[in-house]
Amino acid sequence: MNQTYVMPVPPFPLDPAQEAKLQGRLSGFKSGYDEGYLRGRLAILDGRPEEPLPVRDLHVMYVASGKGYPYSPLDEAVLAALQTLTTRVTVTDVRQNLVELAGRERPELIFVLDGMDLPLEQVDALRASGIRTAIWLTDDPYYTDFTMKIVSHYDYVFTLERNCIEFYRQLGCREVHYLPFAAFRPHYRPTLTRSPIRRDVSFIGSAYWNRVHFFRGIMPQLMEFNTVINGIWWDRLPEAPLYGERIEIGKWMSPQETAAAYSGSKVVLNVHRSHIDDVVNNNTLQIPAASPNPRTFEIAATGTVQLIDSREDIATFYTPGEEIDTFASPEEMLDKIRFYLTHEEERRNMAIKAMERTLRDHTYTKRIHQALTIIYGE
């Protein structure tokens, strides 16, 4: 049910100074009301328990990426979901002797995250012993020069990029499935009290060259708002020193810090990295990306409006214009920022719907349940 704050009308005329003072006070009251109403609605959603899913009588050996941050929060999310949905989980990582460990613990499934540093002879030995093996690839399509060499060693391949499915099947993988990442609720949730962070617009992410070029042409207009950019490599932007602390350079933010920044922002921008980047990518075939990045789900989970550059598969997960909004150019993005900063009710409703959809459909528990159903059936 939508709520509207109605400003009271004074019963007598005011002089200009009194009028300005009253309008400022009423504007402050309205701002407080709007934020209180939004955070109250988000608190109700945040307090709802997740839909219970069946627990399988299954022993899984979870092989963590072994790469540390920023992969470790993904490991935490996947592990928590496995522990919720199976009766036993043995935890290890790519640096251990998995063959020896599996010989002692006798798991029924080896589930690997990333797997780039896992010796393939160990995977082959595990598979030869009759244990099912599965890998969830974390960076498709950006490192397909490497992943194409490892996927055929697994029984099941899960990719977060739809355009990689047929590519891996052509390499001889029989079981390739689309499984995007999600939002881990303990990490990504809204600030439920009045947020200490007060931003109009946020962007959090590394300064890949396509992002630098995208933002550079509109920086004066973008910085007319209370905009803050966080992430590594932003010294690539020549104008960065002009904006001081509003462009934070060289810091990896924890999930909790990131969630607080999202939740304290009226609008959060999501600009995907490019599948063409000779500096950091290893994607010689230039397989394009159609699927949303993990931040899509994480932003939505914090109860804020997200403006995301259009990708082919976005509408599979969120309804554009209702739960999330898209843009096809920097100019369209600026127009939509202006709209949501001046249309409180629309902004609030979109933020609530995005969080509701995320908690219903896009959690790691849901994703791992999907993976286990693919492997073992209903």
Assess whether 208 and 321 both reside in one domain. Answer: yes
Give 286 or 250, the one with higher predicted confidence.
Answer: 286
Assess whether 165 and 256 both reside in one domain. Answer: no
Assess whether 177 and 116 both reside in one domain. Answer: yes
Residue 24 placed within a domain = no
Assess whether 125 and 153 both reside in one domain. Answer: yes
For residues 161-189, average pLDDT: 97
Q: What is the pLDDT of residue 138?
A: 96
Assess whether 150 and 226 both reside in one domain. Answer: no
Residue 29 placed within a domain = no
Within a 10 A sphere around the Cβ of 32, how many other Cβ atoms?
12
Beta bridge partners of 325: 307
User: Which whole-number Å values give the CA distances from 18 to 15, 25, 28, 235, 246, in the listed order?
Assistant: 5, 11, 15, 47, 35
Residue 226 placed within a domain = yes
Assess whether 257 and 166 both reside in one domain. Answer: no
Query: With 60 as the cut, is the pLDDT of residue 89 above it?
Result: yes
User: Which whole-number Å values give the CA distances from 246 to 181, 203, 214, 227, in the listed order?
Assistant: 29, 11, 17, 7
Question: What is the band of 103 on the pLDDT scale with cuts at 50, 70, 90?
Answer: very high
Quote the number of domains for the chain: 2
**pTM (two decimals):** 0.90
Assess whether 210 and 357 both reside in one domain. Answer: yes
Query: With 70 as the cut, is the pLDDT of residue 25 above it?
Result: no
Domain extent, residue 109, equals 56-182+363-376
Residue 189 placed within a domain = no
Query: With 50 as the cut, is the pLDDT of residue 26 above it?
Result: no
Mean pLDDT value across the chain: 93
Is residue 130 helix, strand or coil? coil
For residues 325-333, average pLDDT: 97
Assess whether 84 and 124 both reside in one domain. Answer: yes
Within a 10 A sphere around the Cβ of 46, how many other Cβ atoms?
17
Closest listed residue to residue 295, CA positions, set 312, 277, 282, 307:
307
When mean pLDDT is compared across 3-17, 211-225, 341-355, 362-376, the lowest value belongs to 3-17
Q: What does the alpha-carbon distance between residue 207 and residue 230 come to, in Å, rounded to a whole number?
A: 9
27-42, pLDDT tens digit by residue? 444 556 678 889 899 9
Residue 323 placed within a domain = yes
Residue 49 placed within a domain = no
Assess whether 225 and 320 both reside in one domain. Answer: yes
